[in-house]
Amino acid sequence: MSEELIVEVGRNKYIIKTDRKYTETDEWALKRDDGKIIVGITDYAQKKLRDIVGVELPDPGIKVKKGESLGTIESVKATSDYYAPVSGKITEVNERLLEEPELLNTDPYGDGWIVVIDPEKPEEYDELLAPGEYAEKIRREKH
Amino acid sequence: MPRIPLLDFHVEKLGAETGFFGDWEVPMRYTSSLKEHLAVRNSVGVFDVSHMGRVILEGSDVLDLIQLLYTKNMEKVVKGWMSGPTLALNQYARVKDDEMLYKVNDEEWLLVTNALVREKMIDYINGIIASKGLKVKLDDITFKTSMIAVQGPRAVELFEEIGARWMRDLKTLEFRMNTEIAGIKVFLVSRSGWTGEDGFEVWGDHGAIEKLIEKLVEKGAIPAGIIARDTLRMEMGFVLGGHEYGEDPIRYPCALSLRYGMGAIDWKKKGYIGEEMLRSCRRNGVRWIRVGVKMSKKSARVIPRENTLIYVEDQPIGWVTSGAFSPVLKRAIAQAYIDTRYALFGEPVELEIRGKRHKGKIVDFPLIKTKSSL
């Protein structure tokens, strides 16, 4: 089990894992031992979306730029984009999500991972938000 | 900003997450809207629908007033019964609101309006009363009472369990006033439903309704929010103002295209507002028809949102008015207006969503079969 930070805002609690980095747009990025980066959405993001019923995945092999939309997440209420935290090539996508999109709600930091990116510029990872900075971002937002 | 009177109770005791429906603060969901939806389909759910307008119309000219306002023949409604849903039209035969009336006696009726047009409808009705010199008094009791809807195949059983066995004998569209449920005094109990399931509505003082909700939840009723309410209506193909209908004759087709059903329009009836234009639509034939769309298996989880365009080959044939994910079908579904020349149930169509074509099928309403029939 990785360590976690818990951000409390009103009646809500949001978990932030301390082993990874974050984006302003509520994705997480975790560097694997092979240097590739696993991407998913944060606990805060899934709690905002709630009741996720569908995920559109990018095609493996395509090249993406940092900040580009990777696809969409359908929740009961709305359709939202999710974005690439770093530039690089998509090497894996989590096809389980096509049948079980609710994994994004139940296990956003684990089985709910979305894609793996082989980064083009490894320094982009280092520039992402640290867990404490992401916690600040959540607190700053309107609730 | 208005909020339902028992909102704090829903948040503190039942764990509701609140949000806005128009300007009304209401429970959006309690746990998961998908679970709440399925509880209504398979068991029983309880909704606080106090944001809906509740109005008393009283006076010797009340029948003249409502005959002028609605597409249904109100002369046929029997004391102690609801009219069934009906439409208030404007002069373009576009829909102002879909409403339900309750006949208390010859000179007193109750009216339920949709939440977001309550004030507009009250002003409109008062305007008609004044301009025609009708003897009718309108009393808005929306904030004086709370109103819940208890919906699902287990609704009758649930009320039996709390000691209100008499509710089983209430027929669909029948209502009873100033009665008791399990020792709790309530203003009105009616039997109808807008989820496609069997169920009841109860109006009462805020305290009485709070007690009743607690009792129902204790016996297993699942509190359900407005998101579940929306997905439930979508599976049945029930309309929502601002999506499937509205007053603007450019944005919305004639009320006939809505295929509202449920006997809301009585062609024998004459003299109501919008009748002339509605008959003209009927004579000329309608250009647009409201249909259901079921997405293909491959696009089962791509929800067509409002204003998505629908194509046959390279021809745009219509647009989506509401989209949702059906928890029962496990498919994305939609309501849409399409050109009547293409209205072939079962035929494949394509929907353009974020630049990609997704396959769907034109289907009739309702999109699912329910377990409890009304």
Q: Is B302 on the interface with A (CB under 8 A)?
A: yes
Candidates B301, B329, B330, partner chain A, best to mutate (most A CBs within 10 A): B301
Distance from CA of B124 to the nearest CA of A (A): 32
Contact A72 B305 (CB under 8 A): no
Q: Is A142 on the interface with B (CB under 8 A)?
A: no
Q: Is A77 on the interface with B (CB under 8 A)?
A: yes
The model's pLDDT over B111-140, given as tens digits with 9 standing for 90+, comes to 999 999 999 999 999 999 999 999 999 999
Nearest CA in chain B to A75: B325
Contact B34 A53 (CB under 8 A): yes
The answer on B25 and B59 residing in a single domain is no
Q: Is A55 on the interface with B (CB under 8 A)?
A: yes
Contact B32 A51 (CB under 8 A): yes
* Site of tokens 């805060």: A44
Q: Order of strands, edge to edge, in the sheet holding A79-83?
A: A52-55, A69-75, A79-83
- Residue B268's pLDDT band (boundaries 50, 70, 90)? very high
Contact A54 B302 (CB under 8 A): yes
Average pLDDT for B242-260: 97
Q: Establish if B270 belongs to a structural domain.
A: no
Task: Answer yes or no: pTM beyond 0.80.
Answer: yes
Q: Is B300 on the interface with A (CB under 8 A)?
A: yes
- Last residue in a domain, options B105, B125, B140: B140
Cβ contact B125:B138 at 8 Å: yes
B374, pLDDT greater than 80? no
State percent of chain B over pLDDT 90: 97
Number of domains present in the structure of chain B: 3
**Closest Cβ opposite residue A79 in set B227, B300, B303:** B303
Q: What is the pLDDT along chain A (143 residues), one digit of tens a residue?
A: 568 999 998 878 999 999 999 999 999 999 999 999 999 999 999 999 999 999 999 999 999 999 999 999 999 988 999 999 999 999 999 999 999 999 999 999 999 999 999 999 999 999 999 999 999 999 998 66
The answer on B179 and B47 residing in a single domain is yes
The answer on B60 and B45 residing in a single domain is no
Distance from CA of B116 to the nearest CA of A (A): 19
The answer on B165 and B314 residing in a single domain is no
AA identity, residue B197: E
| Partners of residue A101 in chain B, C-beta under 8 Å | 301
Task: State the pairing for strand pair A12-17/A4-9.
Answer: antiparallel
CATH number assigned to the domain comprising residue B148: 3.30.1360.120
The answer on B86 and B35 residing in a single domain is no
| Partners of residue A13 in chain B, C-beta under 8 Å | none
What is the spatial distance between Cα A50 and Cα A77, in angstroms, rounded to a whole number? 8
Q: Establish if B268 belongs to a structural domain.
A: no
User: What 3 state SS string does B27-83 have?
Assistant: EEECCCHHHHHHHHHHCCEEEECCCCEEEEEECCCHHHHHHHHECCCHHHCCCCEEC
Q: Establish if B176 belongs to a structural domain.
A: yes
| Partners of residue A95 in chain B, C-beta under 8 Å | none
Q: Establish if B241 belongs to a structural domain.
A: no
What is the spatial distance between Cα B194 and Cα A46, in angstroms, rounded to a whole number? 30
Comparing CA positions, the residue from B171, B210, B206 lying closest to residue B191 is B171
Q: Establish if B265 belongs to a structural domain.
A: no
Average pLDDT for B172-177: 98
Average pLDDT for B58-79: 98
Q: Is B326 on the interface with A (CB under 8 A)?
A: no
Q: Is B138 on the interface with A (CB under 8 A)?
A: no
What is the spatial distance between Cα B115 and Cα B118, in angstroms, rounded to a whole number? 5
What is the spatial distance between Cα A25 and Cα A143, in angstroms, rounded to a whole number? 16
Number of residues that this document lists for chain A: 143
The answer on B46 and B188 residing in a single domain is yes
| Partners of residue B307 in chain A, C-beta under 8 Å | none
Q: Give contacts of B 211-230 with A, CB under 8 A.
A: 227
SS3 state of residue A6: strand
Domain coverage including residue B227: 7-51+143-234
Q: Is A136 on the interface with B (CB under 8 A)?
A: no
- Residue B261's pLDDT band (boundaries 50, 70, 90)? confident
Q: Establish if B362 belongs to a structural domain.
A: yes
**Closest Cβ opposite residue B231 in set A74, A76, A98:** A76
| Partners of residue A79 in chain B, C-beta under 8 Å | 303, 305
Nearest CA in chain B to A10: B17
Q: In this predicted structure, what is the pLDDT of residue B220?
A: 97
**Spacing of C-alpha B241 from chain mean position:** 9
Give CA torsion, residues B324, B326, B330, B333, to 10 deg. -50
- Last residue in a domain, options B140, B166, B193: B140
Contact B227 A98 (CB under 8 A): no
The answer on B216 and B135 residing in a single domain is no
Q: In this predicted structure, what is the pLDDT of residue B370?
A: 85
**Closest Cβ opposite residue B301 in set A51, A54, A77:** A54
What is the spatial distance between Cα B221 and Cα B147, in angstroms, rounded to a whole number? 16
Give backbone dihedrals phi and psi of B372, rounded to 5 degrees, phi first: -100, 130
Comparing CA positions, the residue from A71, A66, A69 lying closest to residue A56 is A71
CATH number assigned to the domain comprising residue B63: 3.30.70.1400
